[in-house]
Amino acid sequence: MIDKAKMGRTQGFKNVEVEVDPTLDGSTRPFHQNIYSSDKRVSLPAKEDVYGNIEGLMNHFKLVMYGHGIKPPKGEVYFPVEGANGELGFYVVSDGSERPYRVRVRPPCFPIIAALPILLKGEMVADIVATFGSVNMIGGELDR
């Protein structure tokens, strides 16, 4: 890719070639050790262990089968994480069993959609599409 600018801020870069490496170096590195807990009672084993030895396979099934798995204490928690367009929140209610009593996901576009009536008040109908595009609203997040 070569920048062919004639004038402006990019003029000095017109003879600079940019090389993009199409390989994903490091994507095959096992990174799950840094993410999961070392406690085998609460984390899924690596796929190599699941497919490679019987202990990994048994540990995997003990966590995902009904009647087994993690049994958190009774209570509720809201946990926000950073998403591409804002805060992605997870609300989980536990009744003490291995399956959650209630799980709700709050996508980043919820506050944006809540603000749309204020943003569009007094505007024309044709401005709705432009406003949706400018606030980067993802329609798939609102599929409820």
- Each residue of 70-79: pLDDT tens digit? 888 999 999 9
Q: What is the pLDDT of residue 1?
A: 46
Same domain, 114 and 96: no
Sign of CA dihedral 36, 40, 44, 49: positive
Alpha carbon distance 36, 89 (integer Å): 20
pLDDT band at 114 (very low <50, low <70, confident <90, very high): confident
pTM of this structure: 0.57
Q: Which domain holds residue 137?
A: 109-144
Q: What is the pLDDT of residue 3?
A: 45
Q: What is the pLDDT of residue 104?
A: 93
Q: What is the pLDDT of residue 14?
A: 55
Token digits of residue 36: 């999961």
**Domain presence at residue 138:** yes
Beta bridge partners of 93: 76, 102
Looking at the structure of the chain, the number of domains it has is 2
Among residues of the chain, what percentage have pLDDT more than 90?
Answer: 17
**Domain presence at residue 122:** yes
**Domain presence at residue 60:** no
**Domain presence at residue 100:** yes
